[in-house]
Structure 1
Amino acid sequence: MDNNYSLDLSCLSKELRLLLEILKTEDNDSIGVVKKELFIDIDWGGFLQLAWHHRVYPFIYSKLKKADDNRIPPYVIQTLCKEFKKNTLQMLLLSGEMEQVSELFTENQIRLLYLKGPVIAADIYGDISLRTSKDLDILISITDLKSAEELLLSIGYEKEVVPNFLNEWKWRRHHVVYFHPQKNIQLELHWRFQSFPMKEPKFNELWERKRVSTLTSYPVYFLGKEDLFLYLISHGARHGWFRLRWLLDIDQMLRKGLKLEDINSLLSKYQNRKLVGQALILASELLKTHMNEGWEKLTEGTDSKKIAQNAIDFIKGTESLETIMSSECYQYYSLSLKSNLQRFFVFLILFYPNSADPMTLRVPKPLHFLYFPLRPLLVVWRKTRKLS
């Protein structure tokens, strides 16, 4: 990375700095060389909260459990141990469900690729217990969406009820959420990595580069390493990297030897150099991720540096995703990730009616096409009523 450039990290709390320092360590023995001053006046309750918020507590525990360091209170290790065990059970539960869903879909001629979950933990960390996952994320072809939904409903999953006026989901959504009340498992069914207009590979292209996991006895397919790397970056960037877990994924993939030539052609084809540059800057500055000269060239762009600095505002706190995404700061950040053409399409999508419009003004169904020209007026009307 440019030796003359560094992120402004002055806003990071002492607890977050210590968390990052522990994440950087190569092995258990190196915990002892963490600077003594980083342990002074630490709010250990706040430290645990950050480890939980960033979903890195299993990885932190794996480093601290064998470290003989009296600077860390015993209850901190005990709390991390408890959460580590709970996460391991959760990942085992998800592994079983992952295998069952794969078998069900395959028997019904539906191709599926896992985007996250235990299969990704095993691939990146070599151990499912070192990464957290609250749900299963599955990617399918949009042509199989109806059949896939019928299968999930047939085995006890319930679909999240979401507004869908005039098929707005095609423009504003990229996945549907399902929940199994008996198993307490959430599953996200994706037909895109992220919402339109972001450019991304077609399902058939991803299927050609797929890998098969050795985690389960029945074949479970997931993304090729280059596609997984770029997907995790696009996902992390879209959420402002507000969880360090996503950045740790990138760090671990680079440490395992992912080469720039593996993804170079995809970078040009799908126009995501800016996002990759952002991820590399954040990983280098926060986790001291080592990268060779080829990777460093991607960090030189002014746009990458700007959006990397903007992401620090989301990383430093413990706000929920809903709170972050509703802020004006995030709206500006989200637009900064996109190209000028993508911003133009985002602007156009604003004119597509949504479920709030018929609640504002009811129009007979045969005249629903009128919601398109009426949309700007209805939006202004709602904003005016909200302010009054």
Structure 2
Amino acid sequence: MKLPVKQEILFIILCSRRYLDHETENQAKQLIDTSLFDWDCFYKISFEFGVLPLLYGHLKNTFKVYVPDHIFKKVHHFFIINAARNMVLTNELLKILDLFKTKNILAVPFKGPVLADMVYGSDTLRAFSDLDILVQESEAVKARIILQEYGYRLIHELDEKYDDFYVGIEHAFNMQSPDGKVNIDLQWKLLGTYTPEPITLEKIKHKLSTQQFAGRDILHLGHEDLLFYLCVHGTKDGWEKFEWISCIAEMLRKYPDINWNKVFESANQEHCLKKLKLGLYLASTLCKAPLPIVIEIKIQGDKGIKILGEQFKEHFFSNKNFISVFTNNQRFSSFHIQVQDDLKNKFRFVQRQLFRPTTKEILLWPVPGDFTFLYYIYRPLRLLWNLVLYFFSKLNGKSPVELNN
């Protein structure tokens, strides 16, 4: 690293795993056994990185003697609150899965409590704020209506006349429980419009596996598909949370028998090879994720991935948001263009971002159901106007307005 790395960040990286070996434990103790270690900084960064629940057990069982009382109490309090909330979300997920089962809706939970249990062995060791459920595209509206009859509401209310159009252009219904305590992303396209072709449940259901969760069998993404998803999802969102990287590393430790041919086959089919490689590069170089030698050679031999990975790490160690280096738009930046596999897919990505309508267009300009084609004209015009406002504010020395997508 060109810049000195905060010892607080190094400690967080070392300890963001389910189990610590003797060597890692000693390295961590050397970092905190000094008056220079800033525990308030540690708490702040751990919270931002999303790894406080994972670190709590190590602070309690291994490093308690080093931790100031006020810091340990804050971490303990966060862990208890997070565990209680996760329990509520887990119980609600089970109820919804039962509800969908009675209505013959194929539903696959992913991320959230299922991912925490699958990777860490407990839903208390990961912070998550909502539930993600994948349904078939053909059953998306039916599933939404079932949830609405159960009491959930759309966070962004849309007229039912847009249902078919919305399912075609978007990837999820964002819904909220009557008491406002549970949010659900009811998805029918994994990774939204970030891949050249939609990844639907219809497309991958033959590859689903059965997993034990909360004392029952549930359908879930297979290990290979989940690893692919985590890498592409993290790259899509600029690796905003360090926990996304440590989660991949932990998964690779727990499941060493992953079929790498299937992983790279999916990446090639979906034109997401660079996104996969970047996720694996970060997990390997930051968290010492175990990779087969042939995979390491394949990743290290990609100079473009190494450059992007090192750029990310430089800003990560400075505790800066990576995407903000390119733009204040979290979904559309030069970074997102760089991680497309080839020129054709770069063009297709830009085309999708510029011309494919989103919920925002529908909310800003409701049109009759027969005229939804106008959104394909309205979107690029709206983005162009936002761009004009953005550069105008910069020229006038004002704080630039956000580039909304």
TM range, normalised to the smaller chain? 0.7 to 0.9
What is the rounded CA distance, in whole Å, between the counterparts of 1:220 and 1:362 in structure 2? 39
Aligned to 1:146: 141
Runs (4+) off by over 6 Å: 162-168, 317-325, 354-368
Q: Would you say the 8 A contact 1:172–1:195 is kept in 2?
A: no
Q: Find 2:340's aligned residue among 338, 341, 363.
A: 338
2:182 is equivalent to residue 190 of structure 1: no
Greater alpha carbon shift after TM alignment, 337-346 vs 274-283: 337-346
2:288 is equivalent to residue 288 of structure 1: yes
Cα distance, 1:60–1:345 mapped onto 2, change above 3 Å: same
Aligned to 1:4: none
Q: Find 2:223's aligned residue among 219, 222, 225.
A: 225
1:102 Cα offset (Å): 0.7
Cα distance, 1:376–1:142 mapped onto 2, change above 3 Å: closer
Length-normalised TM-score, structure 1:
0.84
- One-letter identity of the residue aligned with 2:348: F
Cα distance, 1:157–1:315 mapped onto 2, change above 3 Å: farther
1:209 Cα offset (Å): 2.1
1:281 Cα offset (Å): 1.6
2:350 is equivalent to residue 347 of structure 1: yes
Q: Find 2:108's aligned residue among 107, 113, 138.
A: 113
2:14 is equivalent to residue 21 of structure 1: yes
Aligned to 1:3: none
CA RMSD in angstroms comes to 3.5
- One-letter identity of the residue aligned with 1:252: E
1:309 Cα offset (Å): 2.8
Where does structure 1 lack aligned partners over 5 or more consecutive residues?
1-7
Q: Would you say the 8 A contact 1:240–1:315 is kept in 2?
A: no
What is the rounded CA distance, in whole Å, between the counterparts of 1:240 and 1:173 in structure 2? 20
Cα distance, 1:171–1:335 mapped onto 2, change above 3 Å: farther
Matched pairs, number: 381
Cα distance, 1:258–1:103 mapped onto 2, change above 3 Å: same
What is the SS of the residue equivalent to 2:132? strand
Q: Would you say the 8 A contact 2:29–2:63 is kept in 1?
A: no
Greater alpha carbon shift after TM alignment, 284-293 vs 108-117: 284-293
Length-normalised TM-score, structure 2:
0.81
What is the rounded CA distance, in whole Å, between the counterparts of 2:73 and 2:210 in structure 1? 36
1:315 Cα offset (Å): 3.7
Greater alpha carbon shift after TM alignment, 233-242 vs 156-165: 156-165
Aligned to 1:51: 46
1:81 Cα offset (Å): 1.6
What is the SS of the residue equivalent to 2:210? strand
Where does structure 2 lack aligned partners over 5 or more consecutive residues?
394-405
Cα distance, 1:314–1:134 mapped onto 2, change above 3 Å: farther
Cα distance, 1:62–1:109 mapped onto 2, change above 3 Å: same
Q: Aligned runs of 1:154-165 on 2, under 5 Å?
A: 154-161=149-156
Q: Find 1:245's aligned residue among 228, 243, 246.
A: 243
- One-letter identity of the residue aligned with 1:31: E
Aligned to 2:233: 235
What is the SS of the residue equivalent to 1:18? helix
What is the SS of the residue equivalent to 1:271? coil
Greater alpha carbon shift after TM alignment, 210-219 vs 250-259: 210-219
Cα distance, 1:81–1:258 mapped onto 2, change above 3 Å: farther
Aligned to 2:90: 95
Q: Would you say the 8 A contact 1:239–1:321 is kept in 2?
A: no
What is the SS of the residue equivalent to 1:110? coil
- One-letter identity of the residue aligned with 1:155: Y
What is the SS of the residue equivalent to 2:114? helix
Aligned to 2:172: 175
What is the SS of the residue equivalent to 1:285? helix
With a CA cutoff of 8 Å and minimum separation of 6, indicate the structure with the bigger relative contact order.
1
The one-character-per-residue Cα deviations of 1:331-379 (angstroms, maximum 9, x if unpaired) are 1111212232232223333145668779999999987756656765665
Greater alpha carbon shift after TM alignment, 32-41 vs 53-62: 32-41
Q: Would you say the 8 A contact 2:274–2:340 is kept in 1?
A: no
What is the SS of the residue equivalent to 2:175? strand
What is the SS of the residue equivalent to 2:16? helix
1:56 Cα offset (Å): 0.7
What is the SS of the residue equivalent to 1:19? helix
Q: Would you say the 8 A contact 2:137–2:167 is kept in 1?
A: no
What is the rounded CA distance, in whole Å, between the counterparts of 1:378 and 1:68 in structure 2? 53
2:68 is equivalent to residue 73 of structure 1: yes
2:327 is equivalent to residue 305 of structure 1: no
The one-character-per-residue Cα deviations of 1:16-68 (angstroms, maximum 9, x if unpaired) are 22211333695275534426356552332221111111111111112121115
The one-character-per-residue Cα deviations of 1:146-204 (angstroms, maximum 9, x if unpaired) are 10110111111110116899877457632221111326111101111123251464423
Q: Would you say the 8 A contact 2:117–2:123 is kept in 1?
A: yes
What is the rounded CA distance, in whole Å, between the counterparts of 2:96 and 2:55 in structure 1? 31
2:253 is equivalent to residue 255 of structure 1: yes
Aligned to 2:397: none
